[in-house]
Amino acid sequence: MLYEVLTKSIIAGLLASLACGIGVLPLLLRRFDPDKHTGLGYGLAGGLMFAASVYNLILPGLGASANEANLTAVLPVIFGILLGASFLWITDSFLSVERLEKEHWRKWGSKREILIFVAMAVHSIPEGVAVGVGYASGELLSTKLGTYIALAIGIHNIPEGLAVGIPFRSAGASIMRCFWVAFLTSLPQPIAAVPAGLASWFFQPLMPIMMGFAAGAMIFLILLEIIPQALHSERPVRIAWAFTVGFCLMILVQVVL
């Protein structure tokens, strides 16, 4: 049984990572001109990321403790959000101009690209844990809980891949680079699923904090880098609309698909 849980968790995580990479394919459309639509692209990406933070991380984090008192359920998520924001703040401080000018750092891209990669990779960890815990719990309860969780994560990874690809494409990256960056940001899912499947009893209580942590890092990134960068090249009202459209798109993915 354990072997089956681990196998399913790894395969599901890899398919979810592939879905994230596939999400960059809309960037092949000729209508998306990075030189003209950079600001709007960042606004759209910000909306997608923010909706993912709320609907895929914060709300499920609160639901994971639904059997507890309201305040008891909320505090671990809030604690995680503050930890995640602090983590990205420290990462931002670490990536100083002097450090990024060194050759071994330049190959990873700009400061913004590194922060996006870090935040989205962190966001994938609790998702992988959720898949592993889901498969382990499903085996014990004779349900397909893990499959349902993996399918939901794979579907919402598609617009998340787009959110990752837009900033990189706007910075001049090729479609293949965008694909691999999006794929790699989701790779922590199958990696995290393995220990979660082995010790679901340990990871399950930590889910609210982990989900809050990932959400805090993403929200901090949106406010620190994504929106300010968008405002450099586009009017605020157009950025607001792009953000709103991205937010609504992610909601549609959650509800319709």
CA triple 5-214-183, angle to 5 deg: 60
How far apart are the C-alpha atoms of 100 and 116, rounded to whole Å? 15
Which residue type, as a one-letter code, is found at position 84? G
In order of 50, 129, 242, 253, the CA distances from 125 in angstroms are 17, 6, 28, 21
**Distance of CA 49 to CAs 2, 33, 108, 178, 246, Å?**
34, 21, 22, 16, 8
CB 119, CB 221: distance < 8 Å? yes
Burial (Cβ within 10 Å: 0-12, 13-18, ≥19) of residue 255: exposed
As a whole number, mean pLDDT of residues 119-130 equals 82
Q: Could you tell me the pLDDT band of residue 157, with boundaries at 50, 70 and 90? A: confident
pLDDT tens figures, 60-111: 888 755 555 477 778 899 999 999 999 999 888 887 766 666 656 566 667 7
Q: How far apart are CA 242 and CA 257, in angstroms?
A: 22
Amino acid at site 148: Y
Measured from the Cβ of residue 21, the count of other Cβ atoms closer than 10 Å reads 24
Compute CA 131 distance to the chain's CA centroid, rounded to the nearest angstrom. 15
Distance of alpha carbon 161 from alpha carbon 22, whole angstroms? 7
Q: Which two tokens stand for residue 228?
A: 């300010």
State both tokens at 97. 């101009």
Q: Is the pTM of this model over 0.95?
A: no
Q: Summarize pLDDT for 183-233 with one digit per residue, the tens.
A: 988 888 888 887 877 776 677 788 888 888 888 988 998 998 889 888 887
